[in-house]
Amino acid sequence: MPSVQRAYDAWKNTDVVVLLISIDGGGEKTVKAFLTEHGYTVPSLLDPRMEVARKFGVRAVPTTYVMNRAGRVVARGFGLIDFDSRAFGRYLQTLLAQPPG
């Protein structure tokens, strides 16, 4: 999660959107407490019924999706991902350089 927060901080003033989707059954109170306790400010969506997760075909947690400007999934990863890596940053720069559509 720390690298997700750093990615959010690094990209929040660009066209990149970093969003957490929580499937925790504890609800908003539990998720908010966790985020606050750890100092995370990344926007989060609550999905305790896994409606969004099912639509995206989530099979493992954590799962990361990268969508292009047209809203199409262009990459997906399972497990921990190093959002601080130069390769990931270059990948996002490449996506941002592409025209919408």
- 55/80 Cα distance (integer angstroms): 21
Confidence of residue 95 (pLDDT cuts 50, 70, 90): confident
Average pLDDT of 77-93?
90
pLDDT tens-digit series, residues 37-75: 999 999 999 999 999 999 988 988 899 898 888 888 888
What was the pLDDT predicted at 68? Answer: 85
Is the pLDDT at 100 greater than 90? The verdict is no
Evaluate whether 6 touches 87 at the Cβ level (below 8 Å).
Answer: no
Domain 2-92 CATH (choose: 3.10.20.740, 3.40.50.450, 3.40.640.10, 3.40.30.10): 3.40.30.10
Is the pLDDT at 101 greater than 80? The verdict is no
- 37/73 Cα distance (integer angstroms): 31
Confidence of residue 1 (pLDDT cuts 50, 70, 90): confident
Strands of 4-92, DSSP E: 20-22, 44-46, 63-67, 73-78
Alpha carbon distance, N-terminus to C-terminus of the chain: 31
Tell me the β-bridge partners of 78.
Answer: 63
